[in-house]
Amino acid sequence: MPERCRQWAPHSRFCSAGGATEAAVFSILYEVPQEPVRSVSIPYGKPLPHERFYVLDAELRPLPVGVKGEMYIAGEGLARGYYADAQRTADSFFWHEHLQERVYRTGDAGRFLSDGNLEFMGRIDQQVKVNGYRIELGEIENITLSYPDITMCCVVLIQHPQPYLAAYLVATKAVDIQALSQYLRGELPQYMLPKAFIQLDSMPLTENGKIARKSLPLPESEQRPLVAAENDLERECCLIWGGIVEVGARQRGRQLLLPGRQLHSGNPGLLPDQPQVTEGGHPG
């Protein structure tokens, strides 16, 4: 983005402004330098005059430089609260005894850098757990946004039929998904890789201009052709596993895994002694 901005206005200065509506909208600023920024994303910046940012842990204790926590805002720009919503106000605005001032809980994760700037690290509520791993969706989004031509990215956890990550993209041209996947494999650990990529013309937005995650379309299910079991071993496996999970007329559409193949009982008349197999499948 900074490079594109300099192409539009080569002799201009560019600043990234951020903050929260509850703290006068803009309360932090970062001037983008002429030289390339080496961090994963543009730093959040430093507080404006009369504004203060804190990074606190779960016990509301200040954290040292480099340690990730939740960001809180204090200072002259803080709102008095939410109109006619005392409970929400009490949850978000409170007096911090150690800091001796009133603070606003942003719900954003971040950390202080050695130069005094803050690094924005996504939303606290965008942490998900997949196969025992705690994953920051914002980290995946930032890496994906560094790929050429991608202008917006939103990663969500899809729960069914089994938990997996899906990445929604907006780009200036059609994205080569295979090339993007290869790029992400070089930047992210295996457990953080999205299993599905959906390119959209535009992201659905809320009234506040944020991505409406609940309005994103579900990925289309992958359809695989069915073939019959080819030998006695496959038929016997169908009988064994079919008995364990009660595959039959009562439970249709259940899928089982054999090495390199997928058993399927989708036929309404299929009983455990009439197995079918899908090539190269995964459990449904």
Q: What is the pTM of this model?
A: 0.56
Q: So what's the pLDDT on residue 265?
A: 39
Cα atoms in the Cβ-side hemisphere of radius 13 Å centred on 233: 3
- Give the domain ranges of the chain: 2-123, 131-215, 226-279
Are 113 and 64 spatial neighbours (Cβ–Cβ below 8 Å)?
A: no
Q: How confident is the model at residue 207 (pLDDT cuts 50, 70, 90)?
A: confident
The Cβ of residue 281 has, within 10 Å, a number of other Cβ atoms equal to: 20
Assign domain 2-123 one CATH number from 2.30.38.10, 1.10.600.10, 3.30.70.1730, 2.30.110.10: 2.30.38.10
User: What's the distance, CA 36 to chain centroid?
Assistant: 25
Strand 226-228 relative to strand 196-199: parallel, antiparallel, unpaired?
unpaired
What does the pLDDT look like over 254-275, one tens digit per residue? 444 444 444 443 333 333 444 4
What integer pLDDT is reported at residue 221 of this predicted model?
63
Cα-to-chain-centroid distance, residue 240: 39
CATH code of the domain occupying 131-215: 3.30.300.30
What is the tens place of the pLDDT at every residue in 64-119?
A: 999 999 999 999 999 999 999 999 999 999 999 999 999 999 999 899 999 999 99
Helix (H) or strand (E) holding 52: strand 51-56
Each residue's pLDDT tens digit, 3-22: 777 788 888 888 889 999 99
